[in-house]
Structures are given as C-alpha cells and as structure tokens.
Amino acid sequence: MKKKCLYGIIALLVFCALAFGLWRVWQSSLPETAEGSKTVTVAVTHADGSMAEFTYQTELEYLGELLQQEGLISGSAGDYGLFVETVDGETVDYAKNQSWWRLTCNGEDAATGADSVVLHDGDQYGWFYTIG
C-alpha cells in the first residue's frame, strides 16, 4: 500500500515538472512586446476597391486591442482568438460569398490573428476584403 502511494507521488511530481517545462517553452516562444509610444498605420481595402488609411499613436502592445479600442475592427471570439468580421464598418459573410478579412503586417501576410500581432513603432498593417 505504501509502495503504491509512493509511486503516485512520484508520478504527480514528474507530471508537474513536465507541465512546468512545457509552460516555460510556450512562454519563451511568445513574441517580445514593445513598450512605450509607437505610431502605426493601418490601410483598409474595401470590397469595392476603395481605400482608407488610419494612423494611430499608442502605448498599447497588440494590434487587435488597439483597433478594437479605436472602433476600427470587431468580431467574435473563436478557438484561435478574435475572428475579425467587421473592418471600418464593412462586414464579411463567409457563409454567403466566402468573404473574409486578410491581414498583412509590413506587406507580408500575418502569421497570427490581430489580437496576437505585436505593435512596433513604424509598422504598417493592411486589411483586405477577400473572397474565396
């Protein structure tokens, strides 16, 4: 009986050590945030091809947080973070015509969702109404 209890305690300690190690690896893989004031530009290309450009100065660290606070984007929470449905007043409807908003960071497609994009001074972001 004592032997089973000892094995249980050892298994629990091993599990806790592995969980802590995985948490540390995950933490170290997160992008570094940039503190302080930064100026960023956001360009929006609408379904009709019209464009709008916005410049923000902020001390926030994430794009999604900034654009939601400014009222430029809105959406719903999904398994992978914020699913952006509306940008600059225009809403996509994937079920109707497979439309969605494509996000770029400094000319490259974003590797993460808007709420995980770290802001850096001088960055340029683009939102493109996309079908298909």
The tens-digit pLDDT sequence of the chain (132 residues) is: 777 777 777 877 788 787 777 767 655 555 566 678 999 999 999 999 999 999 999 999 999 999 999 999 999 998 888 999 999 999 999 999 999 999 999 999 999 999 999 999 999 999 999 999
The per-residue pLDDT for 55 is 98
131: phi then psi, degrees, rounded to nearest 5? -120, 130
Tokens for 91, please give them. Answer: 């809403």
- pLDDT recorded at residue 16: 79
> Measured between alpha carbons, how far is 55 from 91 in angstroms, rounded to an integer?
21
pTM of the model: 0.74
Residue type (1 letter), 43: A
Q: The tokens of 79 are what? A: 């398994």
Cα 43 to chain centroid distance, Å, stands at: 17
Q: Tell me which amino acid residue 86 is.
A: T
Q: How far is CA 31 from the centre of its chain?
A: 11
In this prediction, residue 106 carries a pLDDT of: 97
Pairwise CA distance, residues 83 & 41, whole Å: 21
